[in-house]
Amino acid sequence: MAEMEYKKETRSVEGSWPMEHWSWKFESIALISKTREAFKEKKLLGLKCPGCGLVYFPPKPYCRCMSEPDEWVEVKQQGTITTYTFTGAWAYEGIKEEEGPAGEPLIIVGVNFDGSDTLTVCTLGEAKPEEVFVGMRVQLKWPENIEGRLDDIAHVVPLRE
Amino acid sequence: MGPGIEVGQVPRAALPINPAFQWSVGNWMDHFYDGLKEGKLLASKCPGCARVYLPPRMICERCFTKCEEWVELPETGTVESYTVAHVKVGANGEFEELPQPEVIALVKQDGADTCVAARLQGGSASVGMKVKVVIDPEAESFVNMLAGYRPAE
Amino acid sequence: MRREVAIISYAQTPYEADANASREMQVLKVAREALQAAGLKQEDRYTVVTANNDYLDGRTISNMRLVEPAGAWMKNESKAEMDGAYAALYGLWRILSGDHDVALIIGESQASVYARWLPGIMMFDPTFDRQRWLLNEASAAALQARAYMNAFGISGEQVAGVAAKNLDNASLNPLAHNKLAGADAAKVLGSRMLYDPLTEMMMAPYCDGACAMVIAAGELAEKAERPVWIRGVGFAHDSYLTERTLKEMNSLRLAAEKAYAMAGISDPSSQVDLAEVHENFAHEELMAYEALGFCGKGEGGAFFDSGVTRRDGKLPVNVSGGATGANVVCATGLARIIEAAMQIRGDAEGRQVAGVKTAVATGQTGPCAQESVVFVLGGE
Amino acid sequence: MAHIDVAVTGVGYSKHVSKRRDVNIAELVWEAVSNCYEDAGLKPKDIDAVVTGNMPAFEGVNMPELWGAGHWGAYHKPLIRITTGGTTGGSVAHAAYYAVASGLYDTVLAIAFEKQSDGNSTMGLNTVALADAAAQFQQGVDPGFLASFGGGAVGIAVYQAASYMKRSGCTTHHLDKVSALCRNNAALNPWSHLKQPGLTPEDVAKTVLMQYPIRFGHVCPATDGACAMILTTHEKALKLQNKPAYILSCASCSDEAALMGISGSGTTNMDPCAQEHCKLAAKWAYELAGIKDPRREIDVAEPYAPFAHQMLMFYERLLLCEEGEAPAILDSGSMNLDGELPVCPSGGVISTNAIGASAMERITEVALQIMGKAGERQVKKEVHKGVAHGWGGAVNLNVVAVLSDTPRRS
């Protein structure tokens, strides 16, 4: 009987998780469709919870208080930054451009639109990375052609009050 | 949903993404495949209770001992159970009719204490029937070098 | 047990092949209903244990997106990635520790979302069996059925009879989806042959649904109306499919022994009034009779033939229709506990059995009941 | 009803490296289990129940214990599987604690592991969000755009880091210091993955910026590894150990998933660094443990910090100081091995991250410090009480355990 010779790397076998055959269900798609339609009239529609009064924007079919949000309310197009980051590569502190690949800076911010109780993720334009801060006031910037897509509301700019 | 909000048929979403994996088989299974390559059935044996594992295991489940002994098993074995498969599971997870039913058997190799699930050639099967292993060292994928079984007679 | 722990409320969705709701909304519905029935609100103090599976849900950390529907927002929550009966077991430990008094237990999955037989194939040894694509939950069950039937002379009619009984029982259960009043063995045997000896009607088809249960000790249990007490629990793991005997259900036997010892049951066939058994395939119920000590080893077929386990028998099994009536992976075993509790409480309406004081419920995970959990429940 | 005191009586690790290609999953886990039995002086026959868990999407095996548990001494034993994402190891240990505290099982083996080299770590993490991403694409979100929202390879942590820095006054220099501190500690830990003795904050500052404010040097590695521990009753532990460590209490707390709500809905978890639920879990755990002033009573902390800022952030969220004070405490040297309240003496998750095992390793490391068995990484001060933490989900799951050298007084 041949002794087993201990190998540092043995054979490998392959396989996959064929998630292409999974198909998930989302009531939220139906809710957000209504909100997306309203984009065409430049309106932001959120859904208010009858249990605790929280307003979800974009809408969500259930609330953390276990009620089902059921009242459409209009959300303001101004909001406050609650969190942020930058893609591309900049040094921090001075935020110099010397590091990493070049490219247009993309500032990604979490925005709490006035009249809602939720965070929505957007990009921030017309501002430099070093100007961003938590608590900064921003204003939604609609695209030139509003198509009723979820990313129609993906851009904000500093609110000049 | 609350009043005024009709979801209708709940919408669905899917993505054509299939995460891939590459599992290292470990030295015990690797040695097993080395054996098949030479046409041999190699099983690991517990030095404590003498239990023989085919496919081999590094650890004896009953003694928690490393199975560092190897034994070469004869080509004969016994059908412990079998099923005549009329279907197989297709890539999408649903049953697909087989053009020809096939026999999947649980075979206990003579000298082994565990079973191998493999195809049994020859169409008919019975519990307790003697079978011989079919080894194909040239199989396209090494996992199929243990190609199956055929009736001993 | 150190504390008396009772089931004080429960809720189930209807079980359907393709529910017109996401799992989140199904979980929300049952969690809310179970809490309400227990007199609890989201802001009250309770712990949550869910049972779900990342591969079934198609989401890593599948409990993460269930936080709000499961009533787990700002709660002490965990997840058993097994049958919901294990979530109930874990919830029970939490209460017995004394650190918690109330636990909300939830089980869910949706067969209409996942690729039906793939998660089961992904359970097998990736270095060998899974590569060969021969073993899945159904082919493994057929290997087990043949091994068991051959060892003890169990007939195809007896196995088919179990399926027929459960399909007929399910016809009285408004929540079940796989049902057939007046089903008989011939019809079951005549259905499409998949993995001989198992025909399509002997398999409990996977479906959509969720169920929830509140268990409690202390004040809430004492003031509850018609509490159902947890008298004994046990659970056990068995070896990998090809390394164990398939002629008997060791995991269930070991689990039952422990649960009976806790509950003071020495003669199950006379001391148990009703059982809800998690049978993914019809022959498993016969094997469960033996493992649960209702009859001797190898006597499952004869025991079934005696009619004892029919809904008008002395020890009815799966009056709800069992898993045959509705099989939601990660919820099926929990639903058995709920059904048994309903029978003890007298809540089972059209399928109510008279005089149920002590009931047994089982849950299983893995191919051919590789892992089993047993609950013994009792009324006042 | 008297509390059943739960003691740690043995711990074991496998080797922790980036790729273990000589063993399969079951065999890798065996190493940790075997070392654990040896450490406890026990055999499988002494174990009454087993709790296990990992993050299955990383290995591509559904319920790996069905195939693997035969390697772990679980033959015919009661076994339960707990998985909760990044917190899995902690959740597994918590379940084992409850199993003993329930009075039903005296001696319980807890096992947690991850063999990331069998899969693709980035894809493993992505499977958290693929369902939601599918819905978002359907509603008109550009995939590349969505990917940048998610923060790329470093996920939501970048938002958390930026927010934390804003709230606390933490600078990138503090992040560099955290990495240097942890990697130097890891060099003293035979089980750690990334050992970088002598690493300085200046070295860390030279690593590649991944996404503001996180550099390569601020991020954990992907590790193959396993961890096991044996918990038992006070009475049994005293027969096995001169100085067992007790798990005084366990608590978890769940918030709404952050950043991307379900399929693009808004989420009320608005600031990923707020971690209110971590504070709540800590509060519950301290209450149960009878700890009134964690700042004075806790001697060592193992927060779960795969990203540098998290060591400081969770130090605060574990109520070990006021919010915003952690950076200054780091500067004071208090968090060092010879400091007043050493943090991550093991080297932490930033040095070793076998994901499913990581939160359990926080507990085993605190236990070793209490038992005085931490070897070269043993902190200089006397350790009576410690806190071990786990974090995961979409920054929305936290688990906390409090350990001590004396049982709970109840």
Give pLDDT tens digits for A144-161: 999 999 989 999 999 986
Q: Are residues C362 and C256 in the same domain?
A: yes
Least reliable range by pLDDT among A129-143, C45-59, C86-100, C291-305:
A129-143
What's the complex ipTM?
Answer: 0.96
Report yes or no on A99 lying in a domain: yes
Q: Do C211 and C250 fall within a single domain?
A: no
Q: At B94, is the pLDDT very low, low, confident or very high (cuts 50, 70, 90)?
A: very high
Residue B92 identity (one-letter amino acid): N
From C173, C191, C222, give the residue that closes a domain: C222
Size of interface B-C (CB pairs under 8 A): 104
For residues A108-130, one letter each, b for 16 or more C-beta atoms within 10 angstroms of the residue's C-beta and e for the rest, the string is bbbbbbebbbbbbbbbbeebebe
**pLDDT greater than 60 at residue D47:** yes
Which bin fits B30, alpha (ψ -120 to 50), beta or left (φ > 0)? alpha
- Please tell me the predicted confidence (pLDDT) of residue A101: 44
- Those chains having 3 or more beta-carbon pairs within 8 angstroms of chain C are A, B, D
Mean pLDDT lowest among C148-157, C241-250, D204-213 = D204-213
CATH number of the domain where residue B120 is located: 2.40.50.140
Residues of D in contact with C363 (CB under 8 A): none
Q: Is there a single domain that holds both residue C213 and residue C349?
A: no
Contact criterion met (CB below 8 Å) for D211 and D230: no
The rounded percent of chain D whose pLDDT value lies above 90 is 82
Q: Which of the residues C41, C42, C53 would you substitute to probe the A interface, choosing the one with the greatest number of A C-beta atoms within 10 Å?
A: C42
pLDDT per residue as tens digits for the range C118-131: 999 999 999 999 99
**Which residues constitute the domain of residue B79?**
26-151
Chain B contact set for C243 (CB, 8 A) = 53, 57, 61, 114-115
Using DSSP's 3-state secondary structure scheme, residue D179 falls into helix
C23 neighbourhood in chain B, CB within 8 Å: none
Nearest by CB to residue C371, choosing from D79, D95, D256, is D79
Instruction: Say how many domains are in chain A.
Output: 1
Residues C315 and C334 in one domain: yes
Task: For residues C366 and C318, state if they share a domain.
Answer: yes
C211 and C292 share one domain: no
Give the tens place of pLDDT for each residue, A46-103: 999 999 999 999 999 999 999 999 999 999 999 999 998 877 544 334 444 444 444 5
Q: CB-based burial of residue D45 (10 Å sphere; 0-12 exposed, 13-18 middle, 19+ buried)?
A: exposed
CATH code assigned at C9: 3.40.47.10
pLDDT of residue D149: 64
Distance from CA of C31 to the nearest CA of A (A): 9
User: In terms of DSSP H, where are the helices of D206-305?
Assistant: 234-240, 276-289, 294-297
Residues in chain D within 8 Å Cβ distance of A24: 131, 134-135
Tell me the DSSP string of A76-129.
PSEEEEEEEEEES---STT--S-SS-----EEEEEEEETT--SBEEEEE-SS-G
Which CATH code is given to the segment(s) D6-120+220-404?
3.40.47.10
C196 in any annotated domain: no
Residue C6 is predicted with a pLDDT of 98
Q: What is the reported pLDDT for D154?
A: 65
Query: Which residues constitute the domain of residue A119?
Result: 26-158
Rounded Cα distance between C351 and C279, Å, is: 19
Lowest mean pLDDT among A86-95, B3-12, D253-262: A86-95
What are the residues facing D12 on neighbouring strands? D228
- Residues B96-108: pLDDT tens digits? 999 999 999 999 9
Give me the pLDDT at residue D130, please: 86
Residue B4 maps to a domain: no
Question: What is residue D348's three-state secondary structure?
Answer: coil
User: What is the rounded average pLDDT of the residues C87-101?
Assistant: 98
What's the confidence (pLDDT) of residue C50?
Answer: 98
**Residues 6 or more apart whose Cβ sits within 8 Å of residue B125:** B79, B82, B84, B103, B105
φ, ψ at D239 (rounded to 5°): -75, -20
Which residues, in sequence order, are bridge partners of residue A120? A111
Minimum mean pLDDT among A31-40, C20-29, C88-97, D123-132: which range? D123-132
User: What is the Cα–Cα distance from A113 to B68, expressed in whole angstroms?
Assistant: 65
Mutate to test the interface with D, among C2, C25, C237, C243 (most CBs of D within 10 A): C237
pLDDT at C102 over 60: yes
Domain that holds residue C88: 5-115+206-222
Do C218 and C319 lie in one domain? The reply is no
Pair B132, B76: CB distance under 8 Å = yes
Q: Is residue C281 in a domain?
A: yes
Residues 6+ apart with CB under 8 A from C54: C60, C61, C62, C81, D55, D56, D57, D83, D127
Q: What distance in Å separates the CA atoms of residue A107 and residue D158, rounded to the nearest whole number?
A: 12
In a domain, A134, yes or no: yes
Q: Give residue A39's pLDDT.
A: 97
Q: What is the pLDDT of residues D387-399, one digit of tens each?
A: 999 999 988 999 9
**C316-340 confidence digits (pLDDT tens):** 999 999 999 999 999 999 999 999 9
Average pLDDT for residues D143-154, to the nearest whole number? 64
Measured CB to CB, residues of chain B less than 8 Å from chain A are 1-8, 10-31, 33, 68, 70-72, 91-93, 142-143
- CA–CA separation, B104 vs B125, rounded Å? 9
Side-chain-side CA neighbours of C310 within 13 Å: the count stands at: 11
Terminal-to-terminal C-alpha distance of chain C: 16
Please indicate, yes or no, if residue A82 is contained in any of the structural domains. yes
Helical (H) or strand (E) element with D73: none
At D68-118, the pLDDT tens digits run 999 999 999 999 999 999 999 999 999 999 999 999 999 999 999 999 999
**What's the pLDDT score for residue C192?**
98
Per-residue model confidence as pLDDT tens digits over D118-137: 998 878 888 888 888 888 88
A118 in any annotated domain: yes
| A83–D139 CB contact, under 8 Å | no
* pLDDT grade for A104, boundaries at 50, 70 and 90: low
Average pLDDT, chain D: 94
User: Which residues on chain C are in Cβ contact (under 8 Å) with A49?
Assistant: none
Provide the pLDDT for residue A93.
Answer: 40
- Residue A126 counted as domain residue: yes
- Residues 61-80 in B contacting D (C-alpha not used; CB under 8 Å): 61-62, 64
Count of structural domains within chain B = 1
Instruction: For residue B7, name the pLDDT band (cuts at 50, 70, 90).
Output: confident
Q: Is the pLDDT of residue D150 over 70?
A: no
Q: Are residues C211 and C275 in the same domain?
A: no
Q: Is residue B5 part of a domain?
A: no
Amino acid (one-letter) located at D271? D
Nearest CA in chain C to A25: C22
The verdict on residue B3 lying in a domain is no
B87: left (phi over 0), alpha (psi -120 to 50) or beta: beta
Q: What is the CA radius of gyration of chain A?
A: 23
With respect to residue B18, please indicate whether it lies within any of the assigned structural domains. no
C118 neighbourhood in chain A, CB within 8 Å: 18, 21
Single out the residue in C194, C222, C250 at which a domain terminates.
C222
Backbone phi, then psi, for D380, in 5-degree steps?
-75, -35
Q: Are C28 and A68 inside 8 Å of each other by CB?
A: yes
**What secondary structure, in 3-state letters, does chain C show?**
CCCCEEEEEEEECCCECCCCCCHHHHHHHHHHHHHHHCCCCCCCCCEEEEECCHHHHCCCCCCHHHCCCCCCECCEEEEECCCHHHHHHHHHHHHHCCCCCEEEEEEEEECCCCCCCHHHHCCCCCCCHHHHCCCCHHHHHHHHHHHHHHHHCCCHHHHHHHHHHHHHHHCCCCCCCCCCCCCCHHHHHCCCEEEECEEHHHECCECEEEEEEEEEECHHHHCCCCCEEEEEEEEEECCCHHHCCCCCCHHHHHHHHHHHHHHCCCCHHHHCCEEECCCCEHHHHHHHHHHCCCCCCCCHHHHHHCCCCCCCCCCCECCCCHHHHCECCCCHHHHHHHHHHHHHHCCCHHHCCCCCCEEEEEEEECCCCCEEEEEEEECC
In this predicted structure, what is the pLDDT of residue D1?
Answer: 83
Residue A12's nearest CA partner among D228, D21, C143 is: D21
Average pLDDT of the segment spanning D23-33: 98
Minimal-distance CA residue of chain D relative to C94: D98
Task: Please state, rounded to an integer, the average pLDDT across all residues of chain C.
Answer: 97
What would the two tokens of residue D291 be? 């700890």
Residues C75 and C214 in one domain: yes
Does any CB of chain B come closer than 8 Å to the CB of residue C60? no
